[in-house]
Structure 1
């Protein structure tokens, strides 16, 4: 990930909505060594910050809506959540949660793209988002799996102004050429029950060791550790409650 700090249009935060927050706290602490700190205020609804060496890197929450599956959500930074939400709906997206304020931290909204992939918007105030990117234990990449790549290439640049780097086999997203994520076709390589989605990849020092630790802690290896042609070593994991995430080898630059 070439983005090194929260940037308008780029992923700035990820959070897991989970059916079992207490079990998830234990699981992700074992896998990544994250420190967990739950906001004690009743109005915070059990929001739990996940940090690495004192730096916030992600969060987890209970499931706030009945029937919602355990899943990670990627938030993209914006200077104006209301304007970005309006742009997304105009481009064919669906507004799932109206823009709203979160204490004095910022303003957010939740949407789905035309193929159904869910994402969030974050307009920062006192909280900018993740404090570190690309270092082991932090967000290093995000990837859209979709049945409609052509539609995504139209939708997201229209909403966020992303640059699109389309290679022979893989499309990469960027902000002014600084790539932060990519896109793959949602096909039979993925579990049959997986909808269109945005998935976070966390950077790690050792993909094989982290994947083994994730499996030993109760997770399922959906894609065992493998080398991507002209790319890093990666793996895809489903946590014990069903949340899917990826890991990749951190670059030498961190």
Structure 2
């Protein structure tokens, strides 16, 4: 297992109005947006400065016909997409898109865990001999936290631990809401080499398990103001979380859910 296996490496927004979504995230996150130049589809690269963090594309008509709604999907790096896809199925997962190549980019598959939450497995075709160092956690504009709302977080964790080698960090008692389990790389006795996010049992108002992604903001109140000015809706927060940070949960104008995390200045 390489150092990259099991790390989140990309985030993708599938939406019903790509132009409006691009304008919204430019205003709220300060992201740059550039067409990737794909010959058979429009795919927009979202970036912090020159560093790509994700992509934006239209939600396919077939997905709309099935009742799918706009949303963010996380990419997790794996050593072998085909082998990890098979492993996911053997562990009770489902394949939504079989392994396939993106020319000159990499190979991917789209899977769901046994409870239905969706992720993309990804292996780059090639990369720099010395990969750039990741930005410090909390750097504005970059992904800062990845949260799974599950039917049963304990069985979900077992699935992902087997697939990606994730380990448990600190577990926090949230009273009636149950346990919030932090996970990451090399986590032992509450301390980890790298924390990726948290898992919890979803509250009743959330209809199905899903992954929510939080991006770092320089100031949570300023970010909240930008969300509302750009036509988004803050559905929760600002709420304080451990470490002196604050979070908001947001619906963008097309209905995709995401989160922002940052200090209150």
TM-score greater than 0.5 by the shorter chain:
yes
TM-score scaled to structure 1, two decimals? 0.89
1:244 to 225, 250, 257: 257
Give ranges in structure 2 of 5+ residues lacking alignment.
174-179, 188-193
The separation in 2 between residues aligned to 1:200 and 1:131, in whole angstroms, is 21
Aligned to 1:24, the other structure's residue is in SS state: helix
- Corresponding pairs, count: 241
Cα offset, 1:87, TM superposition: 0.9
Cα offset, 1:194, TM superposition: 4.1
Higher RCO (CA 8 Å, separation ≥ 6 residues): 1
Which residue in 1 is equivalent to 2:195?
A: 179
Deviations 1:66-120 (A, max 9, x none): 3221000011111111111111111100011001111111111101111110111
1:126/1:211 Cα in 2 relative to 1: closer, same or farther (>3 Å)? farther
Cα offset, 1:19, TM superposition: 0.6
Aligned alpha-carbon RMSD (Å): 2.0
The separation in 1 between residues aligned to 2:181 and 2:105, in whole angstroms, is 33
Cα offset, 1:193, TM superposition: 5.3
Cα offset, 1:211, TM superposition: 1.4
2:32 to 30, 35, 40: 35
Aligned to 1:61, the other structure's residue is in SS state: strand
Runs of 4+ aligned residues of structure 1 deviating over 6 Å after TM superposition are: 128-131
Give ranges in structure 1 of 5+ residues lacking alignment.
1-5
Cα offset, 1:57, TM superposition: 1.2
Confirm or deny that 1:226 pairs with 2:239: yes
Confirm or deny that 1:159 pairs with 2:163: yes
How does 1:122-137 map onto structure 2 within 5 Å?
A: 122-126=122-126, 132-133=134-135, 134=137, 135-137=139-141
The separation in 1 between residues aligned to 2:183 and 2:124, in whole angstroms, is 22
How does 1:1-254 map onto structure 2 within 5 Å?
A: 7-43=4-40, 45-64=41-60, 65-67=62-64, 68-126=68-126, 132-133=134-135, 134=137, 135-169=139-173, 170-177=180-187, 178-188=194-204, 192=205, 194-230=207-243, 232-249=245-262
**Rg bigger for which structure?**
2
Cα offset, 1:183, TM superposition: 0.8
